[in-house]
Structure 1
Amino acid sequence: MGSLGFKGRESPRNEVLDAQELSRWYAGLALEERLAISRELGPRVRASRPKRDEATLPAVAVGRLVFEQEGPGGPRALHHIKVELWDRDFGSPDDFLGEGFTDPEGYFRVRYDPADAGEGDLPDLEVRFFEPQHSFRPDGQVVETWRRIGSEKGPDDHGGLHHDFGTLKLPYWEYDPSTPLARLLVTEEGTPPTAYAPGRALAMLKAVAPIELVKRRHLLQGKLGQAPGLDRIQADYPEAMTVRMERESPGSTRTDAFFGERLLNGMFSTLMDGDPEAPGDKAAFRLYFPWNAYEQDGDHCLPDVDVRLRLAEGRLLPTRIILGMREPGVKQAGAPVTRRSYTPADGPGWEAAKRMARVSATLETELGNHLGQCHFNVEQYAIAAHRNLRRSPLRWLLMPHLREVVLINHSASGFLVGPKGYITRASALTERSVDTRLLHLMGSYDWKGFAPAPPICESHRYARAANLFWRLLGEHVSAFFAEHAQALAAEWLEVRRFSDDLVAHSAPAFVCRYLRATVPGKPAPWFVRSERMDLDAKVTEPVAKAVSPVTCTDTPQPGELEALQQLCRYVIFFATFRHAWANNLQWDDAGEVLYACLGLRWGKDGALSTEADHDVAPPPEEATEMLWISWMLSKTSYGYLLSNEEADVHPRFVELLRAHAAEFAALGLDIRTVSSRINI
């Protein structure tokens, strides 16, 4: 194989080949090369055997497969895993003896004929475990393949007719016990139980290569005591949208109209609650960021930010910004604050307040809309799905959108958060307060009752695109459930265990003081409920979890198939459209250091000075890292829905989106840029 130019991933005994990678490579070979491969592999192909009645086979191997981590009631069964029994041979191909599947309690039983080990050879037993993989043909038919996930050696030269492998613990999609969030356990010396698609690494390289040397040069200059200024750093990177706009029309990106437009349609796009001080006024809105509730580092200024906005002639304009400022150097959560109110009449003070609000929105987007609501939120569904969905057709619907998220999140755990993470270093939040904020955010996300909020005006392109995508996604999910309703019900045990894992490992429901204003007895007509969990239910549950159960029984009850549809729609929405919107606009909205960053510092003249005061802005090393990250996030392009590179997304959904590409384009979204999963 190596002589023909194929470099597989080496294991101690064999080349482990990715099926799709091998298929693409083989298809590109000339006829002579294909014939050479056939001659080389021919002796290693297992001869077909006549079908035999398993009951007549004389020997049997039994055992039980469980997760490595035990549950509250003891060992947790690994159900519906494919089990193959092999005879290990040294220097020649191993002999296949038989196969079976674990039952709902993890037990397996494989009958075999010892003579299949070869003439004069007693079998050296080994069991191998496999999980299902799938792809779709163009007509929507499923093609199943199997991926090896583990093995266990048995006795050598086994001459008996019965062998019990006992209870085997397999480290398989285990939860990390060190965090209150539902995160995948990856030990220091271990590797995640999945891998990126082959093309993703090349896409990453193409995105980062043009700017990697730029960042390294800046960092080296800093170490040599010759750090470049912010203007030089900005000029060394590709021109961002706001930089281009300022070059073409100075001041255009600092206007009140542009501020409101980006809150509606930019990376910052978020829920627009009504203004509680103007009940019933459908043109008055509020955004609130309660940062003083968290511990801060004392070096950065991160006040509570309360933005009041008004619709006027189809544009959303800020009218007042209230900042709850703590004193410089104060670190504790809930510190005393001085509230300062700014309006457009305040001139430079108003511009400084808008900048502080942009920084606040940027940090909230990275921690909330992006990392929390998309990355970590989807990860909890990915872990539960991989642990439990094997026979259920639900796997075909969900898995294409859950692959790879745990990989990128594992990287983010050290790269973005943690003691040395960029968010920890570049913002006012400490490692502890980042963790607390993420726990609070995860405690507010639930699939039940979710729907994208309606647009507040005609120019609210994000909300209009979100609702269009949500509608089309609903059509796709409904069609899938109609097609597979019987099989979904037949394998409901897997759904039950999927739901149980989700709820058991969900963050505790978190209802902050702001949200508690909406609970029973406190009507809040200004409050947008469609994207938030059922607060009335959560505040009355004794020990409420953020994620609601789909089912509590092994057979579907009335309304539970519909609930499962809603869950699937929710997960796919955040793994695709919502993540794409927050991620793809990073370079547009966070590609200029002086326009938006994760944190402003206390300078000699305080934190509310002009953009000309670089003592307030990020230092050079953080500035170049910020631009590098924003570019990398926006420009790494692999795994698109419409490209469907792995052919694992149902072609019906692909064609449904493609048919509405013009509608999305009219709303400023190229549907071809929406990824099928979170891998960046």
Structure 2
Amino acid sequence: MRDTRGSGADDRRWRWWARGPGQGTGMMFAALRRWVGSLGFRGRESDRNEVLDAEELARWYSGLKLEERLEFSRQLAPRVRAGRTVRDTSTLPAVAVGRLVFEQDGPNGPIPLHHVKVELWDRDFGAPDDFLGEGFTDPDGGFSVRYDPEDAGVGDLPDLEVRFFEPQHTFRPDGQVVETWRRIGSEQGPDDHGGLHFDFGTLRLPYWEYDSTTPLARLLVTEEGTAPTAYAPGRAIAMLKAVAPVELIKRGHLLQGKLGQAPALEKIQADYPEALTVRMERESPGSTRTDAFFGERLLNGMFSSILDRDPEVPGDTKAFRLYYPWNAYEQDGVHCLPDVDVRLRLVEERLLPVRIILGMREPGATAPGSPVTRRSYTPADGGGWEAAKRMARVSATLDTELGNHLGQCHFNVEQYAIAAHRNLRRSPLRWLLMPHLREVVLINRSADGFLVGSTGYITRASALVERAVESRLLHLMGSYDWKGFEPAPPICEGHRYARAAGLFWKLLGEHVDAFFAEHGAAVEAEWREVRRFSDDLVAHSAPAFVCRYLRATVPGKAAPWFVRSERMDLDAKSVEPTPKAVSAVTWTDVPQPGEVEALKRLCRYVIYFATFRHAWANNLQWDDAGEVLYACLGLRWGKGGVLSTEADLDVAPSPEEATEMLWISWMLSKTNYGFLLANEESDVHPRFVELLRAHAAEFAALGLDVRTVSSRINI
């Protein structure tokens, strides 16, 4: 059910009711007096017949807490509405018309801003403005608002202004939706307009625009501008609380470096809080460098990713492979980043590495596709094996940051956020999706200079130059699609990540099914919004990308070693002339058979990556990237070669990169606000919250405290 109690805009209209002429004013005051009296605000006997003036009434109302204003509205509105006749706006003598479009044109010209709320006001200098009327833009962006010029006040010709609003929502504990409106723009018309018709013309609103300078679906925010959204207030406090202690540590290290007294890596590590691997090494030296721990973190750490079967041992269900193709990208020549091919095997329910093949460039080689020498290492190689495992850990760390974390969660979810904000207003679909799409564009904008770009930490601390980081992200984004996605099943009993992912996916399916059971008919009634949402997604998604190896071995072939459930459909993409990564939900304004189920799958996919998947990749960063010598984004060639021991600090990150890495890992893992179960903004359906809470013990048994899963990506 929908509760359309208003916020700011409705408060202003209510003040107009209190002060201006028109139907219902006297009855409104009478109802107000009765309601105030029913709450016990009796006053003196002689005061009972006094009428509150409009200014005093407005001050009193604005001073109420939100819950008091909501209670006031619940009590007063039925009495006001019951005692007055609804105004027939069709008989009003004047009309204001216009058309609202996006600032940037599409391939076919202006893009209409449909279903935006439009309010017509009379601007008053030195006094509250007068509300004249309201309406909504139609599918082509057009609006028409009828009004009575006399509502501007006695002897006052209206100074016209149109104001635009987008919907916001919260959920009450019973699941009822409370809708409010947020102002997103305005346009002034003529002063002292005495006519009965005014055409505002075509108005362009810079609203959730795409950045045309990048091949990824990114939000355009100018250097001097601000994004069309904002962080929740509590997020800033959470950031300050988590980061302030380590911020001082990092600044101290950087200052020492500038003075030529850079601290040793051992001192840098000791100054930060104790990470998981540091604690384990203190309690049991060598425990985090074992083959068993290496396999455990690939299963259940922040590195958790798809494990394909080993194609070189067909039919062996216990043999697996991870491959990182770094030689395809330009490198800086300072850091060493070989191709890494890890072969693993299940032994007594433990995943163990059995061979690591490194495709090594010559030192200093920078060009993509440089000649490589393949070197194979096994546990029998002693120190060489340990060095190869370290190189594989570094490779997995970089791949996680660019893939599992930044690409698959942050930038992937951003493309859905932009398309949703541009198109979903009447559709109940926004009640399901918007809580999980808020704030992601803000944190991604921070990442543009902080993590990636010419001065980003990933660019400085890894072998990948800026162009290579951009290419890698484009390739990754070209491989993500909602269609057919489902978390891969666990490969063994100890695969806690996969089991937790499967449980979360199952519960998410129940939540989405229940939502569509309640609101599916309304979603279908507003299918045009779904069509435009889908169109934007497809048009702005990255070109579908399939590497040469997969193109040769997967499409049209059985390839039983290849895990398909988490990948886009390579068979379908390979036959499309110019395939895009993201598949369409619909191509029509009316749902066709199977398309509602497809939309449900898309919703499930988006929420999964904005919540569970991001939490797993992000919240474990301090555990898996909280020790510089254990894992980092890049190893340097060093004087004696890159495959040396951890004692060779010429290979390790510089002191500056080391302290930045620890600061980033702590900040990402420890800054959290907007938890699903806390539901601080009450924008997540309480049914989903209770569903997860009911299974908290099952998640805890799998190593996940579901209370730490955020409802959206904001860190």
The TM-score, its normalising length taken from structure 1, stands at 0.94
Partner of 2:575: helix, strand, or coil?
A: coil
2:262 alignment counterpart = 227
1:493 aligned to which of 508, 511, 528: 528
Unpaired runs of 5+ residues, structure 1, are: 1-8, 10-30, 32-36
2:302 aligned to which of 267, 274, 289: 267
| Conserved 8 A contact 1:518-1:535 | no
Cα deviation for residue 40 of structure 1 reads: 6.4
Q: For residues 63 and 515 of structure 1, what CA distance do their matches in structure 2 show?
A: 52
Partner of 2:588: helix, strand, or coil?
A: coil
Partner of 1:539: helix, strand, or coil?
A: helix
Q: Does 1:306 align with 2:306?
A: no
1:65 alignment counterpart = 100
Per-residue CA deviations over 1:259-286 (Å, capped at 9, x if unaligned) read 0000000000000000011111000000
Cα deviation for residue 38 of structure 1 reads: 6.8
Partner of 2:435: helix, strand, or coil?
A: helix
Unpaired runs of 5+ residues, structure 2, are: 1-7, 9-40, 42-54, 64-72
| Conserved 8 A contact 1:518-1:527 | no
2:173 aligned to which of 135, 138, 146: 138
| Conserved 8 A contact 1:580-1:675 | yes
2:51 alignment counterpart = none
2:580 alignment counterpart = 545
2:408 alignment counterpart = 373
Partner of 1:159: helix, strand, or coil?
A: coil
1:665 aligned to which of 682, 685, 700: 700
Q: For residues 157 and 328 of structure 2, what CA distance do their matches in structure 1 show?
A: 69
Q: Does 1:353 align with 2:388?
A: yes
1:362 alignment counterpart = 397
2:445 aligned to which of 388, 406, 410: 410
Q: For residues 226 and 268 of structure 1, what CA distance do their matches in structure 2 show?
A: 35
Number of equivalences: 646
Aligned residue runs from structure 1 range 316-327, under 5 A: 316-327=351-362
Per-residue CA deviations over 1:375-427 (Å, capped at 9, x if unaligned) read 00000000000000000010000000000000000000110000000000000
State the Cα RMSD in Å.
1.6
Aligned residue runs from structure 1 range 185-196, under 5 A: 185-196=220-231
1:18 alignment counterpart = none
User: What letter corresponds to residue 564 of structure 1 in structure 2?
Assistant: L
1:25 alignment counterpart = none
Q: For residues 50 and 160 of structure 1, what CA distance do their matches in structure 2 show?
A: 27
User: What letter corresponds to residue 494 of structure 1 in structure 2?
Assistant: E
1:586 alignment counterpart = 621
| Conserved 8 A contact 1:517-1:524 | no
2:59 aligned to which of 41, 45, 51: 41
1:12 alignment counterpart = none
Q: Does 1:123 align with 2:141?
A: no
Aligned residue runs from structure 1 range 394-543, under 5 A: 394-543=429-578
2:45 alignment counterpart = none
Cα deviation for residue 42 of structure 1 reads: 4.8
Q: For residues 62 and 358 of structure 1, what CA distance do their matches in structure 2 show?
A: 62
Q: Percent identity?
A: 84
Q: For residues 215 and 392 of structure 1, what CA distance do their matches in structure 2 show?
A: 47
User: What letter corresponds to residue 577 of structure 1 in structure 2?
Assistant: F
2:311 aligned to which of 269, 276, 282: 276
| Conserved 8 A contact 2:554-2:562 | no
| Conserved 8 A contact 2:322-2:343 | yes
Q: For residues 394 and 38 of structure 1, what CA distance do their matches in structure 2 show?
A: 41
Aligned residue runs from structure 1 range 630-649, under 5 A: 630-649=665-684
| Conserved 8 A contact 2:556-2:571 | no
Per-residue CA deviations over 1:584-614 (Å, capped at 9, x if unaligned) read 0000000000000000001001111100011
| Conserved 8 A contact 1:83-1:100 | yes
Q: For residues 470 and 521 of structure 2, what CA distance do their matches in structure 1 show?
A: 42
- Name which of structure 1's ranges 404-413 and 43-52 shifts more when overlaid on structure 2: 43-52
* Change beyond 3 A, Cα 1:624–1:117: same
Per-residue CA deviations over 1:255-310 (Å, capped at 9, x if unaligned) read 00000000000000000000011111000000000000000000000000000000
1:5 alignment counterpart = none
1:243 aligned to which of 271, 275, 278: 278
The TM-score, its normalising length taken from structure 2, stands at 0.89
User: What letter corresponds to residue 437 of structure 1 in structure 2?
Assistant: R
User: What letter corresponds to residue 663 of structure 2 in structure 1?
Assistant: W
* Change beyond 3 A, Cα 1:521–1:148: closer
1:15 alignment counterpart = none
Cα deviation for residue 637 of structure 1 reads: 1.5
| Conserved 8 A contact 1:275-1:285 | yes
1:34 alignment counterpart = none
| Conserved 8 A contact 1:323-1:341 | yes
Per-residue CA deviations over 1:456-509 (Å, capped at 9, x if unaligned) read 000000000000000000000011111112101100000000000000001000
| Conserved 8 A contact 2:387-2:645 | yes
Partner of 1:131: helix, strand, or coil?
A: strand
User: What letter corresponds to residue 494 of structure 2 in structure 1?
Assistant: S
| Conserved 8 A contact 1:100-1:109 | yes
| Conserved 8 A contact 2:330-2:368 | yes
Per-residue CA deviations over 1:182-224 (Å, capped at 9, x if unaligned) read 0000011110000000100000001101100000000000001
Q: For residues 432 and 205 of structure 1, what CA distance do their matches in structure 2 show?
A: 33
* Change beyond 3 A, Cα 1:521–1:76: closer
Cα deviation for residue 617 of structure 1 reads: 0.6
User: What letter corresponds to residue 469 of structure 1 in structure 2?
Assistant: F
| Conserved 8 A contact 2:611-2:713 | yes
